[in-house]
Chains A and B, each alone.
Chain A
Amino acid sequence: MAAQSATASRSGLRSALPLLAPAYLWLTVAIFLPLSAMVFFSFMTDLPLSGKSWAFTLGNYAAFFSQSLYLTLLLASLRLGLEVTLWCIVIGYPAAYVLAKVLKGRSREAIFLLVILPFWSNGLVRIFSWAMVLREGGILDTALNAVLPFKINIDLMYSYPAVIIGLVHSYVPYMVLTCYLTLQAIDDSLIEAGRSLGASRLQVLKRVIIPLSMPGLVAGAALIFVPVVGSFMEPRILGGRTGTFYGTVIEDQFVAVFNWPLGAALSFILLAVVLVILAIASPVLRRAA
C-alpha cells in the first residue's frame, strides 16, 4: 500500500518534471547565480574586478559585530518595517473590507483603480510628489493654513514621519490586494449567520471575519515587512539626514563607497535576520489563522 503510493507520487513527479524545468532553469540563472556570486564576494577582501589583489576573509561579517552602528541601524530598520506594516494593516484592511463587502459593481472597480494606481506610477515620481506635499510651504502646509484660522507650520520633510508616509503609500496596495482576496472569498451568509445568532457587527468582525482573513493579513505583512526593512530610496529622499537606515548603508557600499564585499555581507546578515523572524512568527500566525 505504502510502496504503491510512493511509486505513484514518484511517477507523478517524473511527469511533472518537464513542466517544472523552465521554472527551475529561470530560478538558477536569474537568482541562484547572481546570489552565489554575492555570497562569494561577501567573503573577499576586495573586488577581483579592479585588478587589485584579494583574499578570502570573514572580516566583512566581523565588521557588523565589531561596530555597534550596524546593529543600531538594523534595529531601526526592523522598527521601521514593523511600523510601516502596522500602518498598512490599519489603512489597508478597512479599505479591503469596504472593497470586498460594502461596494458593489462600478463603484468597486473605480475605487480599486485608485488603490492600485500607486502601483503603476514610477517609484521616484511618487516619492518626489510626496516631497512637494510635505515640505514647508508645500502643498499640505499651504492647504492647512488656508483652511485653519490660526497659523501653523507643517514641515514634515526630512523626518521619520515623512519616511513612514512615503513607505506606507508605496506598500499599502499589497495589503489591500491580499486582504481583498481573502475577504472576498468569505461568504456573506457567514456574516449574516453570525448576526442572526446575536453577534454585533464588531463581534462578527472579531470572531469570524478577521480569523478567516488572517492568511491575507499574514501574506500582506510578509510582502511589506521584508522589502521595507531593506528599503533605501524612501528613507534617503524623504528622510534626509534622519533617513539613515540599514538599507541606505548597504546601498552606500554598492554605489558610493564601492565596498561590494561589505555591502554583500550586510545584505546576507539582513536576509538571515528576516528569515529567522519569519520562522519564529509563522507558527504563531498559523495558529491564529
Chain B
Amino acid sequence: MAGVQVSSVSRSFGAHKALDDVSIDFADGGFYALLGPSGSGKTTLLRQIAGFDFPDTGRISIGGESVERVPVEKRRIGMVFQNYALFPNMSVADNVAFGLSVRGEAKAVIAAEVQRALDLVQLGKLGGRRPHQLSGGQRQRVALARAIVTKPRVLLLDEPLGALDKALRVDMQIELKRIQREIGITTIFVTHDQEEALTMSDRIGILRDGRLVQEGPPEEIYDRPKSEFAATFLGDANIFRGDTTGNGIRLPDGTAIAAGAGATLAAGAKASCAVRPERIRIATDAGASDGDANTLKGQVSKRIFAGNNSTYFVERDGQTLKVIVQNTGADRLAEGQDVVLRWSPESTVLIAAN
C-alpha cells in the first residue's frame, strides 16, 4: 500500500490539453474522489496513474517510487472499469484468479486467495458462474474482487457505479467503502455524481478543462468553495456578483452583502459571493433583524415540494434565488408572495472573480 504523488502532470492530445499542470497528493490509505464535468480529464488523469497512457511532462510516483515510464503491468495497481471488463471466456473464479495466475502463484494459494476475495465481496458461492450469468451489481463486485486480490498498492476506479440503478448504487457505495476500510487501500475514485463524492471520500479533487480547480476534504470544498465553478458544481449555490468592499460585496443596486469567509480581496475589485440555498431563511415580514444579517427582498415565483423539504424560487432584481426550507410543519408560502430573505455573513463565501 502506498500513497500517490502527481506533480505538474500535463497531457495533450493534438492541440487539446486534456491535463494542464495537475498536482495532487493522494495520501496513503485515503479515499479520494475525482469529480468534474464530462471531458474535464478525470479518465485521462486516472490513466496516467494506471500507466495506460504517459504524461507529456510532470512526475508520478507511487509509494515514493517514480513510475512515469513504468508500464501498467509493473505498477502493481488494481483497476475497476465502468463496463466491468470481466473476461467473458472465464468463470468468475478464473477472472478473479487471473492476476495471481499470470504471476505464477501456486494453485492452492490461488484457490484460497480467490475464495477470500469472493467472500469479501459476498459472492463466495458464485465462483463457478460465467460473467454473463451475473447481475450488474454482482459483476461489479467480481471486478472489485479481481482488482484487489493481487494486493495492489493503489485501487483505481473509473465511474464504477455509473451503470447501476440508484438503489443498487447506494448499496454498492456502502459496500465499496466497507471493503476499502477493511483492507485500507489507497483508493482513487472517478465519478460524475457529486453526492457519491461527498458521502464516500476523505478528499475530493474537482477538475475542469484539464485543470485542478480545488482540492480538499468534502466539508471544506462545500463550505469554502474557491470559485463560482466549485460552488455550483459541488452542490447548489446562489451567486451574487458585484464590487468588493473588503468584507463582502456591493451589488449593482447598492445593496451590501457581508461575507464571513473566503478570499481576502482589495476593495473595488470585481468579486462574487456564494450562499448555499439551505442557509437562507425565508419570511413574509421584515421581522426582527439580527443586526449583521444579510437581507434581501423578493417575490416567490415557484415552490417545489419534496416531502422533507421545499425549494422556493425567489425573484429579486432579475435574478432567481434558490432557498431550501426544511419541512418543520410551519406555514408554507404561496407563489407570488412578497418575502424577505435573511442569512448570516458566516454562511457567505467571498470569491474572486474569474
Residues on A lying within 8 angstroms of B by beta carbon are 187, 189-190, 192-200, 203, 207-208, 211-212
Contact = CB atoms under 8 A, between A and B. Distances in A.
B85 A208 contact: no
A187 B102 contact: no
Contacts of A192: 52, 72, 79, 81, 85
A195 B85 contact: no
B177 to A, nearest CB: 22
Nearest to B94: A207
Contact of B73 (A187, A199, A208, A211): A199
B342 interface: no
Q: Which 6 A-B pairs have the closest CB atoms?
A: A197-B99, A196-B79, A193-B85, A189-B85, A199-B102, A195-B72
Contact of B150 (A194, A195, A197, A208): A197
19 contacts: A187-B85, A189-B83, A189-B85, A190-B85, A192-B79, A193-B86, A193-B146, A194-B102, A195-B52, A196-B50, A197-B73, A197-B98, A198-B102, A200-B73, A203-B102, A207-B98, A208-B87, A208-B89, A212-B87
B78 A196 contact: yes
Nearest to A211: B89
Interface range for B: 20 to 34
Given A192-B72, A192-B85, A198 B150 contact: yes
Nearest to B156: A196
A26 B263 CA distance: 82
B76 interface: yes
Given A192-B52, A192-B72, A197 B85 contact: no
B89 A193 contact: no
B103 interface: yes
Given A192-B72, A208-B89, A212-B88, A199 B83 contact: no
B79 A193 contact: yes
Interface string B223-254: 00000000000000000000000000000000
B49 to A, nearest CB: 11
A194 B147 CA distance: 10
Contacts of A203: 102
Nearest to B88: A212
B72, B81, B83, B146 pick with most chain A CB within 10 angstroms:
B72
B188 interface: no
B350 interface: no
B77 interface: yes
Contacts of A195: 52, 71-73
Contacts of A193: 79, 81, 85-87, 146
Interface string B89-129: 10000000011001100000000000000000000000000
A207 B86 CA distance: 13
Interface string B132-170: 000000000000001100100000000000000000000
A194 B50 CA distance: 12
A195 B75 CA distance: 10
A203 B99 CA distance: 11
A203 to B, nearest CB: 5
Contacts of B77: 196
A198 B83 contact: no
Given A190-B87, A198-B73, A207 B78 contact: no
A193 B77 CA distance: 11
Given A189-B81, A195-B52, A198-B103, 17 more contacts: A190-B85, A190-B87, A192-B72, A192-B81, A193-B81, A193-B85, A193-B87, A194-B98, A196-B52, A196-B72, A196-B73, A197-B98, A198-B73, A198-B102, A208-B87, A212-B87, A212-B88
